[in-house]
Copies of this chain bind each other. A is one copy, B any other.
Amino acid sequence: MTKYEREIFAIVTTSREHLTVEQIFQRLKRTHPNVVLATVYNNLNRLLEEGLIRKVSIEGMPDRYDRTEKHDHLVCRNCGKIADITLRDLTESLNEQLGDDFLYYDLKVFYLCPACRKILQEQNSHSTE
């Protein structure tokens, strides 16, 4: 593992925020001001290949990176913010239903996060005044 690979791995896995490439880049620059964006991409891709991190895609937003420990995601329909949740495991149920062996699954539950719910409610009440 190279210096940057290790640092980027640490940034991704210690943050609970599901960072974008740009955010990871900004954090890395705090300690390594001369690092370049391509290096972040290179190392993220390397880490992905090695299976040490995972990518989370939410439609319409840049990809985010996440630790690999099994968990599901609660995604705000409005702002795209992601929160971790651990829901009942579906492996057994899927094995039962699919028979065939699958590799893994990705479950995203969409909702309105408290902040967005509030904003939308306010907008609503204004528009009906």
Interface residues of A (CB under 8 A from B): 55-60, 63, 74, 77, 85, 87-88, 90, 93-94, 97-98, 100-112
- A90, B109: Cα distance in complex, Å: 10
Which residues of B have CB within 8 Å of A58?
57
- 10 A-B pairs in the complex with CB atoms less than 8 angstroms apart: A55-B59, A57-B58, A74-B98, A98-B111, A100-B111, A103-B112, A105-B109, A106-B106, A106-B108, A107-B107
Which residues of B have CB within 8 Å of A97?
87-88
Number of this chain's copies in the assembly equals: 2
Instruction: Check if B87 sits within 8 Å of A94, measured CB to CB.
Output: yes
Q: A77: shortest Cβ distance to chain B, in Å?
A: 6
